[in-house]
Amino acid sequence: MGGGKHRKIDVPAPGAEPESDGGTIESGAADDVSGRAAGAQTGAAGGARSAGGTGAAPDTGAASGKGGEAGADELLAAARAEAAEHYDQYLRARAELDNVRKRHERDRSERAKYAVEPLARDLLAVVDDLERAREHAGVSEGGLADGVRLVLKGLSEVMAAHGIERIATEGLPFDPASHEAVAMAETDRVPAGYVMEEQRAGYRLKDRLLRPAMVVVAKAPTGQGSGE
């Protein structure tokens, strides 16, 4: 119209699809579908991770709590065992200390009880000499004989005051704990197995033997039984 230029427009036939425009529409729809699918997958993965994390956290805490309780029980058991061992060592040390103290007291008591033992042993030889001097003097009276008897009597009293006693022998059964047999003699005056004569006096300090008495033990005469 009026000399202007007219643009030719191609009108597609009914039922036909434009080529270029149709391709563009299909590509955009595919991209939209792919984006939605990827978003759905991402959301599902995130939910799975969230669900997994939420469920695993309580299990980890419970395991940690049980491990802590087990460790505390072991430490308590070890502490109790160590305390029991230390208490046992204490009891042993206390018992040993008590034994040492009792032994020390016993030794001190015995030392005090037998403190005169060395002196007593030395005096026995003096007593033996005085007794021989008295036997040599016989039944004589006055002078030296009386002096020997008085000295021997005074010395015997001092020894007795300190617990030194003479052991009885003659007429008693032979006792190997306090008698030492130096000979056996046949006799009918004393029963067999009895002491018939004392050769040297024996002495005892309280309940401790200083020296045994030397004795002669009787035996039955030949031809006679021990019970006759």
Query: Is 20 a domain residue?
Result: no
Domain membership flag for residue 89: yes
Same-domain pairing of 146 and 72:
no
Residues 128 and 68 in one domain: no
**pLDDT computed for residue 200 by the predictor:** 93
pLDDT digits (tens, 9 = 90+) for 201-212: 999 998 899 999
Residue for token pair 């940690």? 64
Contact 203, 168 (CB under 8 A): no
User: What backbone torsions phi and psi does residue 222 show, to the nearest 5 degrees?
Assistant: -60, 135
Task: Name the percent of the chain in helix, strand, coil, to the closest 5.
Answer: 60, 15, 25
Is the domain of 49 the same as that of 60? yes
Pair 198, 182: CB distance under 8 Å? no
pLDDT of residue 52: 45
Neighbouring C-beta atoms of residue 138, cutoff 10 Å: 8
CB atoms near residue 216 (< 10 Å): 20
Q: Judge if 34 and 109 occupy the same domain.
A: yes
Number of domains in the chain: 3
Chain centroid to Cα 30, Å, comes to 91
Same domain, 207 and 137: no
| Domain co-membership, 109 together with 123 | no
User: Given the DSSP bridges, would you call strands 179-186 and 213-219 parallel, antiparallel or unpaired?
Assistant: parallel
**Is residue 3 in some structural domain?**
no
Task: Give the model's confidence band at 25: pLDDT under 50 very low, under 70 low, under 90 confident, else very high.
Answer: very low
Contact call for residues 209 and 222 (beta carbons, < 8 A): no
> How far is the C-alpha of 57 from the C-alpha of 220, rounded, in Å?
109
DSSP helix/strand/coil, 182 = strand
The listed range with the strongest mean pLDDT (15-24, 44-53, 107-116, 219-228) is 107-116
Least confident stretch, 46-50, 89-93, 168-172, 224-228: 46-50
Are the CB atoms for 205 and 163 separated by under 8 Å?
Answer: yes
What pLDDT is attached to residue 65? 61
3-state class of 172 per DSSP? coil
| Model confidence pLDDT, tens digit, residues 125-180 | 999 999 988 888 776 777 788 888 899 999 999 999 999 999 999 889 999 999 99
133 vs 54, more confident: 133
Start-to-end CA span in the chain (Å) = 190
- Mean pLDDT of the residues in the chain: 77
Q: H or E stretch including 85? A: helix 19-113
Query: Looking at residue 79, what is its pLDDT?
Result: 93
Q: Provide the pairing of β-strand 164-166 with 213-219.
A: unpaired
* Spatial separation of the C-alpha atoms in residues 115 and 119, rounded to whole Å: 8
User: Is residue 92 within 8 Å of residue 86, measured between CB atoms?
Assistant: no
**152 and 173 co-located in one domain:** no
Confidence grade of residue 50 (pLDDT, cut at 50, 70, 90) = very low
Residue 221 has pLDDT above 80, yes or no: yes
% the chain with pLDDT above 90: 46
Residue span of the structural domain in which 75 resides:
30-113
